[in-house]
Amino acid sequence: MSNKTIINIKADKEVKDQAKRLAERLGVPLSTVINSFLKQFIRSEEVTFSNARVMTPGLEAVLEEVEKDRKEGKNISGPFNVKEAINHISSL
């Protein structure tokens, strides 16, 4: 007899699809990932919500371009004090 149970949850379709693709890329079923999170939740007795993002190669490329522009004096709009920043944003 199996010691498994089914949990029905609602998740955004895109979140589920992205999680499933990532789990597949890592070579594990999505249920293994979810079980791991549940076990961590039980051990720590806490939930952590984070909006921290991992640096992606695409973001690294954008930041390199921004840094290059900054060094060349391109696309520089500041520094601003708060009032100047608000005026600048309002003018965009």
Tell me how far apart the alpha carbons of residues 58 and 60 are, in angstroms, rounded to a whole number: 5
- Closest among 50, 44, 20, 18 to 33, alpha carbons compared: 20
Helix (H, G, I), strand (E, B) or coil at 60: helix
For 55, which DSSP code?
A: P
All structural domains of the chain with their residue ranges: 13-44, 57-91
pLDDT band (50, 70, 90) for residue 36: very high
DSSP secondary structure letter of residue 75: S
78 or 58, which is more confident: 58
**Residue 89: pLDDT band with limits 50, 70, 90:** confident
Select the more confidently predicted residue: 77 or 23.
23
> Which amino acid appears at position 8 of this protein?
N
Instruction: In whole angstroms, give the CA distance from residue 66 to residue 51.
Output: 23
CB 80 within 8 A of CB 88: yes
pLDDT of residue 47: 87
Residue 80: pLDDT over 70: no
